[in-house]
Amino acid sequence: MPRRLSVTVERFPLREPFRIARGVKTEAAVVTCEIADEYGRGWAECVPYPRYGEDIESVINQIEGVRPLIERGGSRASLERALAAGAARNALDCALWDLEAKSTGGRVAAIVCGEMPRPVETAYTISLDSAEAMASAARASGRGLLKIKLGTDDDRERIRAIRAAARGARLILDANEGWTAANIKDHLLAAAAAGAVLVEQPLPAGEDGVLRDIPHPVPICADESLHVGEDLDHLVGLYDYVNVKLDKTGGLTEAVRLIREARSRGFGLMVGCMVGSSLAMAPALLIAQHADVVDLDGPLLLAKDRPHPLHYYGSLVSPPDPVLWG
């Protein structure tokens, strides 16, 4: 059955600059794919990520490279064979899921979740800044679960200040590969003293073997070190949790497999996101139903979201309206 594929670039200004150890951004630049046939229209978005060698142009080129496959009716399985995991495949894979739901009148949740999805608690991100500014932002957030962006040579004062400012909150400390073998023990001790529930990707991917030989006073979660299921065996003994993001797995199809395989190896599960709109979060909310920790706050960082957005009630985020996706 012939299809029509359209690809657009959209930009969503952020409420305020968003800083991590690798830099600062003021907008979410996303690539949106729409796949239509005579029965319906499916769509999805992805966020090209420079850390993984992606930009807007390269992602569009990847999508255009498989246009003939998609337009002649290619399946999600054939897409996986044709395109490597990453942002481009994520947009196409999730658009195909949405197209199937819209064309048949079914719900993606029925397949992925096996039950009606429920609201989940999401972390709220505090971007990297001075200790005083981060403590002020943490205090003002009023959230019960905070993800704290770190990754400098010495983050201990930031950790202490945020703990004092947000005494009732659970803290996830995300170093974004910014710590080193020389300072990680001190940072982990500071995390433990602050009662942090998780430390995310403290060391650069490929330089994280030291994690096997040091104590984990706080559970450690792989982010940049994990993309697809084939990465899991290497992470056993290094990490306690893994962070599953659709832009890394190349879509919902691989993410569902990855979650099953991660659980079978004893990993705790986090579901995260890049900074994108509600359209990017919608499919991730389905796999978040099975997660121990959820970080899907991207739309809360935007100045304006899409129509029919996800609904956030404090720290709870509800599953998507099928008008949006799924």
Domain boundary among 72, 107, 142: 107
**Of 149, 185, 248, 304, which residue is the catalytic one?**
149
Last residue of a domain, one of 60, 83, 107: 107
pLDDT digits (tens, 9 = 90+) for 136-152: 999 999 999 999 999 99
Residue 232 lies in a domain: yes
The answer to whether 185 is a known catalytic residue is no
Among residues 231, 232, 248, which one has the least CA distance to residue 284? 248
State residue 21's pLDDT score: 80
Give me the pLDDT at residue 198, please: 98
The answer to the question of residue 25 being in a domain is yes
Q: 100 and 36: one domain?
A: yes
Domain end position, chosen among 81, 107, 133: 107
Selecting among 102, 147, 245, 248, the annotated active-site residue is 245
Write out pLDDT tens, residues 279-316.
999 999 999 998 999 999 999 999 999 999 999 998 99
pTM of the model: 0.95
- In this structure, is residue 323 part of a structural domain? no
Q: What is the pLDDT of residues 28-70, one digit of tens each?
A: 999 999 999 998 999 999 999 999 999 999 999 999 999 999 9
Are residues 97 and 26 both part of a single domain? yes
Query: 62 and 119, same structural domain?
Result: no
List pLDDT tens digits, range 106-118.
Answer: 999 999 988 889 9
Q: Are residues 31 and 84 in the same domain?
A: yes
pLDDT above 90 covers what percent of the chain? 90
What's the pLDDT score for residue 114?
81
CA-nearest of 70, 119, 107 to 91 is 70
Same domain, 282 and 163: yes
CATH at residue 61: 3.30.390.10
Is there a single domain that holds both residue 227 and residue 295? yes
* pLDDT reading at 87 higher than 90: yes
Q: What is the reported pLDDT for 1?
A: 63
CA–CA separation, 268 and 241 (whole Å): 4
Range of the domain at 65: 4-107
What digits encode the pLDDT tens for the residues 171-219? 999 999 999 999 999 999 999 999 999 999 999 999 999 999 999 999 9
Residues 128 and 100 both lie in one domain: no
The pLDDT of residue 290 is 87
Q: Which residue has the tokens 């609201």?
A: 119
- Domain match, 167 and 308 both: yes
Mean pLDDT of the residues in the chain: 96
Q: Is 149 a catalytic residue?
A: yes
